[in-house]
Every structure is written in structure tokens, then in C-alpha cells.
Amino acid sequence: MRKLRAEAHRRMLGNGYCARPVELDCHFESICESCTFFVTTIEFRPTLAKQRDDAADKGQIGRQKVFDGLLQRLDDTEA
């Protein structure tokens, strides 16, 4: 049961998962993706969409908005 609970709260990252317990606050959540120096390209759109969906599924509104913004910028760039 402990393993299942831990898996339910893992946060998806671009290259793995954060295993920080949900009870612990994190001031760095999505820090890279919200950094002004973060750059992404259309090739990472599927990964960013999965991260956004992961955040939405877990009710992580702030994290979801970060990825929504990144996806919107990619869409605007492609248009």
C-alpha cells in the first residue's frame, strides 16, 4: 500500500519523477519550467503535454498552469 501511495503522488519531470512526499512543501516545484532561461522546442510538446495532464490529474493547478503556458507559447510559435 505504501508503494502505491508513493506512486500516486510522484511528480512527473522531463527526465523522470520527483519522489518528494506530498506532505512536504516544495518551493522549487516546476522551477526549471518557470525559469526565464528555460527554452523548449516543439519536439518536447508530447512530454510537456504529459506533464500538464499529470498535474491536472493530481489537482496541481499551479503546476498545470506552468505547462499550459509553455504549450501555448509553442503553439503560438508554430502558427
pTM of the model: 0.70
Count the neighbouring beta carbons within 10 Å of the beta carbon of residue 52: 21
CA dist., res. 33 & res. 7, Å (int): 22
Containing domain of residue 14, as a range?
2-78
Q: Domain count of the chain?
A: 1
Nearest alpha-carbon partner for 17 in 66, 50, 62:
50
Angle at 24 between CA 48 and CA 22, to 5 degrees: 55
Count the neighbouring beta carbons within 10 Å of the beta carbon of residue 18: 13
Rounded to a whole number of angstroms, the distance between the first and last alpha carbons of the chain is 46
pLDDT in tens, 9-64: 677 677 567 777 777 777 777 788 888 888 888 998 999 999 999 999 989 899 99
